Amino acid sequence: MRSTFFILMSITAFAGCTSTTDMSIRDDKKVKLITLDPGHFHSALVQKSTYADVDSVVHVYAPEGSDVQLHLEKIESYNTRAEEPTNWKQEVYLGDDFLEKMLSEKKGNVVMLAGNNLKKTSYIKRSIDAGFNVYADKPMAIDAKSFEELIEAFAVAENKKLLLYDIMTERFEITTMLQKEFSLIPEVFGTLEKGSLENPAVTKESVHHFYKYVSGSVLTRPAWFFDVAQEGEGIVDVTTHLVDLIQWECFPDQIIDYKKDIEVKRAQRSETGLSLAQFKAITKVDQFPDYLEKYVTKDSILNVFSNGEFDYKIRDVHAKVSVKWVYKAPEGAGDTHYSIMRGSRANLIIRQGPDQQYKPALYIEPAGAETSEYGTQLAAKLKDVQKKFPGVELRKLAEGWEVIVPDKYKEGHEAHFARVTEKFLEYLKKKNLPAWEVPNMIAKYYTTIQALEIAKKGAQ
């Protein structure tokens, strides 16, 4: 990966100049979406809402099969729902030459990608080469080879003055937003601790579920989702969100240089086992496809390397991320998130367990003995937070305070796709990205892929 350094430097050098971007093929006022080979439900969630600057006609290019049909069914369900129906018009091309057809017809100016991750980086590069802006679901790279190709795509995008952007929904989750907000207040948080390998300053953990509900229905996942060669291992998939949040919260608006600022210290991976009955319930496929047989043990259990954790240093701060996948959530629960930022004055902790009814809640817990002076300062600084987030309050607990969040901010994961899409459209309209976004995307994928390589070496 060291060979990518000079390419990255050219990207970083130009990052501050992106305000001159002309968006190449964006010659009219409407954004025209192209959905390419949709295979993940995130591709549909982008269209769960409508956007003033986006044309209602979306061109879909894909091979024939269940992936695209499931995508089209979800869009149709949004168009026909009782409350606030959308009005998307899907112009669909199906065929083995779908990619070449999309590249030659140029019926849109933004390619939206969410699907098979083995193919995704190539789709990104081909789309950028052809002059399209790209709006891609995570992960944009799942191994060292695709990371190199992603670096090249960013360089071409810079040269062609195009936007290449990934969908980081978790920046719009309210407890995470408030965790960041309080961390920026010295009187409340102090300064971020440096931590150590055994006691990181920042920890983020995520638990996900194969069997889940999306838009009110049980999600059907494609069989290839369980092939880590196509989906990517857990350590390079969901962890992209966690690494992104660490960069975004701990070093806001700062450029992270992966060559200088990132050092993965240790990493490990593990499997989640699924029975054939569980696999059927999720995929509606009766047997394990041939490409999954290498992961199946003699007792018909499919073992998926969906779990991983790693410790790393970002600049001089020790951080840890962890992801775990299980079959199904407890009743009333869903995917969960745990996060702690340790400050010199207080720890900011997001918990989402049984005590929180599996809903994320933010706590402020003084790092030392609590004093009346600290409580007074916290109450005073809360007023500043309330200017940005009206209605947010504090509730005193034995260990500190719980941040009470009004229901109006609790949108849920699916709504966050509209928020990040609105942000992308804002960047597209203004014809720029913040200077830190591209180098930090590169740093993020470098971090996760380095962790995967270390975890694999440790298992040998």
How many angstroms separate the CA atoms of 399 and 262, rounded?
Answer: 34
Average pLDDT over residues 300-319: 97
Check residue 223 and report its DSSP letter.
G
Name the 3-class secondary structure at 133: strand
State the average pLDDT for the chain: 92
In this predicted structure, the answer to whether residue 455 has a pLDDT above a threshold of 80 is yes
376 contact partners, CB below 8 Å, separation of at least 6: none
In this predicted structure, the answer to whether residue 407 has a pLDDT above a threshold of 80 is yes
- Do 46 and 96 lie in a common domain? yes
- Quickly count helices (H) and strands (E) in the chain: 15, 17
How many angstroms separate the CA atoms of 156 and 128, rounded?
Answer: 7
Tokens 């300053």 sit on residue: 201
Does residue 48 lie within any of the structural domains?
yes
In this structure, how many other beta carbons lie within 10 angstroms of the beta carbon of residue 434? 13
CATH for 56:
3.40.50.720
Query: What per-residue confidence (pLDDT) applies to 299?
Result: 76
Q: How confident is the model at residue 28 (pLDDT cuts 50, 70, 90)?
A: low
Query: What per-residue confidence (pLDDT) applies to 326?
Result: 95
In this predicted structure, the answer to whether residue 171 has a pLDDT above a threshold of 70 is yes
Query: What per-residue confidence (pLDDT) applies to 381?
Result: 97
Residues facing residue 395 across a β-bridge: 402
Of 237, 148, 191, 180, whose CA–CA distance to 344 is shortest? 191
CA angle 440, 444, 446 (to 5 degrees): 115
Name the 3-class secondary structure at 90: strand
Percent of the chain with pLDDT over 70: 93
Average pLDDT over residues 293-310: 94
How many angstroms separate the CA atoms of 121 and 375, rounded?
Answer: 50
What would the two tokens of residue 65 be? 């099969």
Average pLDDT over residues 253-257: 98
In this predicted structure, the answer to whether residue 21 has a pLDDT above a threshold of 90 is no
- Do 107 and 227 lie in a common domain? no
Angle between helix axes 174-183 and 239-250 (nearest 10 degrees) is 30
- Is the peptide bond prior to 366 cis by the omega test (within 30 degrees of 0)? no
| Structural domain span for residue 87 | 2-167
Query: What per-residue confidence (pLDDT) applies to 7?
Result: 37
Q: How confident is the model at residue 298 (pLDDT cuts 50, 70, 90)?
A: confident
Tell me if 282 sits within 8 A of 220, measured CB to CB.
Answer: yes
- Do 160 and 269 lie in a common domain? no
Angle between helix axes 437-458 and 144-160 (nearest 10 degrees) is 170
- Do 240 and 389 lie in a common domain? yes
Domain final residue, candidates 152, 167, 182: 167
**Which residues in 294-360 belong to E strands, given as ranges?**
301-314, 317-328, 336-342, 346-351
What would the two tokens of residue 442 be? 């590169």
pLDDT digits (tens, 9 = 90+) for 118-139: 999 999 999 999 999 999 999 9
Does residue 429 lie within any of the structural domains?
no
Tell me if 350 sits within 8 A of 179, measured CB to CB.
Answer: yes
Check residue 329 and report its DSSP letter.
P
- Do 222 and 158 lie in a common domain? no
In this predicted structure, the answer to whether residue 372 has a pLDDT above a threshold of 90 is no
Type of residue at 216: G
How many angstroms separate the CA atoms of 328 and 333, rounded?
Answer: 9
Name the 3-class secondary structure at 127: helix
Tell me if 115 sits within 8 A of 39, measured CB to CB.
Answer: yes
Q: For the chain, how many structural domains are there in total?
A: 2
Does residue 373 lie within any of the structural domains?
yes
Q: How far is CA 329 from each of CA 211, 286, 332, 353, 412, rounded to the nearest angstrom?
A: 8, 23, 8, 11, 16
Percent of the chain with pLDDT over 90: 87
Average pLDDT over residues 149-163: 97
Does residue 440 lie within any of the structural domains?
no
Type of residue at 414: E
Does residue 376 lie within any of the structural domains?
yes
- Do 202 and 233 lie in a common domain? yes
Of 26, 55, 131, 156, whose CA–CA distance to 431 is shortest? 26
Average pLDDT over residues 316-327: 97
- Run of H or E residues at 371: none
Does residue 410 lie within any of the structural domains?
yes
Q: What share of the chain is helix, strand, coil (3-state, %, to 5)?
A: 45, 25, 30
In this structure, how many other beta carbons lie within 10 angstroms of the beta carbon of residue 12? 17
- Do 374 and 265 lie in a common domain? yes
- Do 99 and 221 lie in a common domain? no
In this structure, how many other beta carbons lie within 10 angstroms of the beta carbon of residue 172? 19
- Do 346 and 370 lie in a common domain? yes
- Do 22 and 101 lie in a common domain? yes
Of 335, 100, 309, whose CA–CA distance to 212 is shortest? 335
Tell me if 210 sits within 8 A of 238, measured CB to CB.
Answer: no
Backbone angles phi, psi at 193, to 5 degrees: -65, 160
Does residue 259 lie within any of the structural domains?
yes
In this predicted structure, the answer to whether residue 19 has a pLDDT above a threshold of 70 is no
- Do 218 and 285 lie in a common domain? yes
**Which residues in 315-444 belong to E strands, given as ranges?**
317-328, 336-342, 346-351, 361-366, 393-396, 401-404
Type of residue at 138: K
Backbone angles phi, psi at 453, to 5 degrees: -65, -40
Type of residue at 27: D
How many angstroms separate the CA atoms of 370 and 375, rounded?
Answer: 8
> Within 13 Å of residue 74, how many CA atoms lie on the same side as its CB?
26
Average pLDDT over residues 299-318: 96
Q: How confident is the model at residue 460 (pLDDT cuts 50, 70, 90)?
A: low
Does residue 196 lie within any of the structural domains?
yes
Check residue 19 and report its DSSP letter.
G
Q: How confident is the model at residue 459 (pLDDT cuts 50, 70, 90)?
A: low
How many angstroms separate the CA atoms of 183 and 342, rounded?
Answer: 9
Report the DSSP pairing between strands 401-404 and 393-396: antiparallel
